[in-house]
């Protein structure tokens, strides 16, 4: 019996030794990888960087991307090339970045849809944004503005709520498409206000605005810069902006939160990310350069013209923001049963 016990103890000792050896090998390999990653990051960048915008040219995402690219190219010492890859609500371009090498040479500038909405909206999405990307920076946000047809007898948000609750038949509201910031903003407001309004999706903001101006729908949430000309011309009436603070482009218009709905915040926002696994020193370098670029007077002027507000932030802060936004819009999408495919 003592021999069997001795053999068992010997086997256990051998296994423990092997486990320690395997652990030491793993630690050594990780240390080597970290050293290699650090050395790689120290030399970064050594060639041009591609910044993918998963939408067409000319929109706020594109304008913001080009302003950033032009500003950080000299400080990085390499050209940052903006590449538009539109389609499927941003999913085509985002998929390209999600599957790119995590070396810092392929980046994504996209709106809230890609980072926090499409996961819940598209059954066919082939990647999980929470796992596919390394957040770099929240590059800015644009408020939506809740506007009504001038024939609607409401000049404040409480008046609109009262009118909507008594309207027969119920009101219609326009959006620039299912899952867009305007659609989700309106649905969040409906839920908090306890009102009914039928959603009518249009192929873009211009078509939705045309429907409002033509008295085909009674209200909509639209990106402020897009709706502003119609508001200033008196063809649409602004009741509230969806951001937590008043918008500089419309300073006399209260926020939804001020109008009786505390905590309401439903902005369109834009972020920059790299593929998951990109070395942390590279992510930090990009964050530092882009933070500085977005605070430069010439870039800040471009942002202001687009109604974009920016506050300096870290990759960790952006990551936390994405998580909170994703949870908020998941609840809205699940409650409404909205789908884009």
What average pLDDT is seen over the chain?
90
257 assigned to some structural domain: no
Of 218, 233, 229, 209, nearest to 172 by C-alpha is: 218
177 assigned to some structural domain: yes
Is residue 155 domain-shared with residue 184, that is, in the same domain? yes
pLDDT at 38: 55
27 assigned to some structural domain: no
What pTM was computed for the model? 0.84
pLDDT reading at 21 higher than 60:
no
pLDDT reading at 37 higher than 90:
no
Q: Look at residues 206, 241, 276 and tell me which one is the last residue of a structural domain.
A: 241
Sign of CA dihedral 127, 90, 60, 116: negative
Q: What is the mean pLDDT of residues 237-248?
A: 96
SS3 of the chain: the string is: CHHHHHHHHHHHHHHHHHHHHHHHHHHHHHHHHHHHHHHHHHHCCCCCEEEEECCCCCCHHHHHHHHHHHHHHHHHCCCEEEEECCCHHHHHHHHHHHCCCCCCCEEEEEEHHHHHHHHHHCCCCCCCHHHHEEEEEEEEEECEEEEEECCCCCCCHHHHHHHHHHCCCCEEEEECCCCCHHHHHHHHHHHHHCCCEEEEECCCHHHHHHHHHCCCCCEEEEEHHHHHHHHHCCCEEEEEECCCCCCCCCCCCCECCCCCCCCCCCCEEEEEEEECCCCHHHHHHHHHHHHHHHHCHHHHHHHHHCCCECCCCCHHHHHHHHHHHHHHHHHHHHHHCCCCC
Can you give the residue range of the structural domain that contains 154?
Answer: 144-241
Is residue 154 domain-shared with residue 133, that is, in the same domain? no
Say which CATH number the domain at 206 has.
3.40.190.10
75 assigned to some structural domain: yes
Is residue 128 domain-shared with residue 190, that is, in the same domain? no
Cross-strand bridge partners of residue 145:
222, 241
Is residue 286 domain-shared with residue 200, that is, in the same domain? no
261 assigned to some structural domain: no
Say which CATH number the domain at 283 has.
3.40.190.150
pLDDT at 17: 47
102 assigned to some structural domain: yes
Number of domains in the chain: 2
The band of 278, judged by pLDDT with boundaries at 50, 70 and 90, is very high
Is residue 132 domain-shared with residue 151, that is, in the same domain? no
The band of 42, judged by pLDDT with boundaries at 50, 70 and 90, is confident
pLDDT reading at 140 higher than 90:
yes
216 assigned to some structural domain: yes
Is residue 236 domain-shared with residue 310, that is, in the same domain? no
50 assigned to some structural domain: yes
Is residue 179 domain-shared with residue 235, that is, in the same domain? yes
Is residue 234 domain-shared with residue 152, that is, in the same domain? yes
pLDDT digits (tens, 9 = 90+) for 59-110: 899 999 999 999 999 999 999 999 999 999 999 999 999 999 999 999 999 9
Is residue 229 domain-shared with residue 184, that is, in the same domain? yes
pLDDT at 32: 45
Percent of the chain beyond pLDDT 90? 81
Is residue 237 domain-shared with residue 153, that is, in the same domain? yes
pLDDT at 35: 52
- Asked if the bond preceding 169 is cis, omega within 30° of 0, the reply is yes
pLDDT at 4: 43
Is residue 65 domain-shared with residue 154, that is, in the same domain? no
The band of 53, judged by pLDDT with boundaries at 50, 70 and 90, is very high
Is residue 135 domain-shared with residue 150, that is, in the same domain? no
pLDDT digits (tens, 9 = 90+) for 167-218: 988 899 999 999 999 999 999 999 999 999 999 999 989 999 999 999 999 9
pLDDT digits (tens, 9 = 90+) for 285-320: 999 999 999 999 999 999 999 999 999 999 999 999
């Amino acid at each position: 019996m003592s021999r069997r016990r001795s053999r068992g103890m010997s086997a256990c000792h051998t296994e423990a030794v092997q486990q320690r050896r395997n652990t030491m090998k793993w630690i050594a390999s990780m240390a080597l990888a970290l050293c290699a990653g650090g050395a790689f990051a120290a030399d970064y960048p050594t060639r041009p960087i591609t910044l993918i915008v998963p939408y067409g040219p000319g929109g706020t995402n594109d304008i913001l991307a080009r302003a950033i690219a032009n500003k950080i190219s000299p400080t990085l010492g390499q050209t940052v090339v903006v590449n538009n890859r539109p389609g499927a609500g941003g999913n085509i371009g985002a998929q390209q970045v999600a599957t790119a090498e995590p070396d810092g040479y392929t980046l994504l500038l996209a709106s809230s849809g890609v980072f926090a909405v499409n996961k819940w909206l598209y059954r066919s999405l082939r990647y999980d944004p929470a796992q596919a990307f390394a957040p770099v920076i929240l590059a800015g946000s644009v408020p939506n503005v809740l506007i009504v047809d001038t024939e609607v007898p409401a000049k404040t948000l409480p008046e609109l709520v009262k009118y909507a609750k008594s309207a027969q038949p119920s009101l219609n509201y326009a959006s620039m498409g299912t899952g867009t910031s305007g659609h989700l903003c309106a649905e969040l407001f409906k839920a908090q206000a306890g009102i009914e309004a039928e959603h009518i999706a249009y192929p873009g903001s211009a078509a939705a605005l045309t429907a409002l101006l033509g008295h085909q729908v009674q209200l909509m949430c639209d990106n402020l810069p897009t709706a502003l000309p119609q508001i200033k011309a008196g063809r649409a009436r602004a009741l509230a902006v969806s951001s937590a603070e008043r918008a500089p482009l419309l300073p006399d218009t209260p926020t939804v939160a001020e109008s009786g709905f505390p905590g309401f915040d439903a902005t369109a926002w834009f972020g920059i990310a790299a593929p998951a696994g990109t070395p942390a020193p590279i992510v930090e370098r990009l964050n530092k350069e882009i933070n500085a670029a977005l605070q430069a007077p010439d870039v800040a002027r471009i942002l202001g013209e687009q109604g974009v507000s920016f506050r300096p932030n870290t990759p960790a802060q952006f990551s936390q923001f994405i998580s909170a936004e994703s949870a908020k819009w998941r609840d809205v999408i699940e409650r409404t049963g909205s789908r884009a495919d």
